[in-house]
Structure 1
Amino acid sequence: MIIRAAGLTKEFRRPRRKEGRFGGLRTLLTREYTTTRAVGGVDLALEEGELVGFLGPNGAGKSTTIKMLTGILVPTSGTVEVAGLVPWRQRERNARQIGVVFGQRSQLWWDLPLIDSFRLVGKIYEVPDPLLRKNLDLFVDLLDLGSFLDTPVRSLSLGQRMRGDLAAAMIYEPRILYLDEPTVGLDVVAKQRIRSFIAELNRDKGVTVVLTTHDMDDVEELCRRVVIIDKGRTLYDGEIKALKDAYVTHRELVLHLASAAGPMEREVRREGDRVWLRFDPAEISASKLIREVTERYDVSDLSLAEPDLEGVIREIYAVGEVA
Structure 2
Amino acid sequence: MPFIELDSLEKVFTVRRRAGLLRREKREVRAVDGITFGVERGEMVGYIGPNGAGKSTTIKMLTGILTPSGGRLRVAGIDPARERTRLARRIGVVFGQRTTLWWDLPLRDSYRLVHRMYQVPDARFRENLDRCVELLELRDLLDVPVRQLSLGQRMRGDIAAALLHDPDVLYLDEPTIGLDVVSKTRVRSFLRELNAERGTTVLLTTHDLTDIEQLCSRVMVIDHGRLMYDGDLTGLHEAGDGERLLVVDLATAVPPIEDVPGARFVRAEGPRQWLAFPATASAAPLVSAVAAAYPLVDLSVREPDIETVIAKMYGGTREERRESLT
1:163-242 equivalent positions in 2, closer than 5 A: 163-242=156-235
Deviation at 1:317, TM superposition (A): 6.6
Aligned equivalent of 2:7 = 6
Deviation at 1:165, TM superposition (A): 0.2
SS of aligned partner of 2:155: helix
Letter in 2 for 1:9: E
Aligned equivalent of 1:130 = 123
Letter in 2 for 1:96: R
> Is 2:72 aligned against 1:79?
yes
Change (3 A) 1:67 1:194: same
Contact 2:152 2:179 in 1 (8 A): yes
- What CA distance in whole angstroms lies between the structure 1 residues aligned with 2:238 and 2:168? 32
- What CA distance in whole angstroms lies between the structure 2 residues aligned with 1:239 and 1:251? 17
- What CA distance in whole angstroms lies between the structure 2 residues aligned with 1:64 and 1:277? 34
Deviation at 1:79, TM superposition (A): 0.3
1:239-258 equivalent positions in 2, closer than 5 A: 239-248=232-241
Aligned equivalent of 2:109 = 116
Equivalent pairs counted in the alignment come to: 288
Contact 1:248 1:307 in 2 (8 A): no
- What CA distance in whole angstroms lies between the structure 2 residues aligned with 1:248 and 1:206? 33
Deviation at 1:219, TM superposition (A): 1.1
Q: Deviations over 1:31-60 (max 9, x none)?
A: x73211111101121000011110011111
Q: Deviations over 1:201-238 (max 9, x none)?
A: 11111011010001111111111111101111011011
1:261-300 equivalent positions in 2, closer than 5 A: 268=264
TM-score (norm 2): 0.78
Deviation at 1:107, TM superposition (A): 0.4
- Decide which structure has the larger Cα Rg and report it: 1
Q: Deviations over 1:122-166 (max 9, x none)?
A: 100000111111111101100000001001111111111001000
Change (3 A) 1:300 1:176: same
- Structure 2's unaligned 5+ residue stretches are 246-257, 294-300
Change (3 A) 1:277 1:49: closer
Change (3 A) 1:63 1:251: closer
Contact 1:230 1:317 in 2 (8 A): no
Aligned equivalent of 2:312 = 315
- What CA distance in whole angstroms lies between the structure 2 residues aligned with 1:251 and 1:138? 36
Change (3 A) 1:119 1:242: same
Change (3 A) 1:278 1:198: closer
- What CA distance in whole angstroms lies between the structure 1 residues aligned with 2:96 and 2:311? 22
Contact 2:48 2:220 in 1 (8 A): yes
TM-score (norm 1): 0.78
Contact 1:229 1:236 in 2 (8 A): yes
Q: Deviations over 1:86-134 (max 9, x none)?
A: 0000100111101000111000001111001001001000001111111
Aligned equivalent of 2:297 = none
- Structure 1's unaligned 5+ residue stretches are 253-262, 291-296
Moved over 3 A (4+): 14-18, 245-252, 263-272, 276-279, 306-314, 316-321
Contact 1:4 1:80 in 2 (8 A): yes
Contact 1:244 1:309 in 2 (8 A): no
Change (3 A) 1:5 1:190: same
Please say which of residues 63-72 and 311-320 is displaced more in the overlay: 311-320
CA RMSD between the two structures: 3.6
1:104 to 97, 105, 114: 97
Contact 1:54 1:226 in 2 (8 A): yes
SS of aligned partner of 2:68: coil
Letter in 2 for 1:316: M
Aligned equivalent of 1:258 = none
Change (3 A) 1:278 1:10: closer
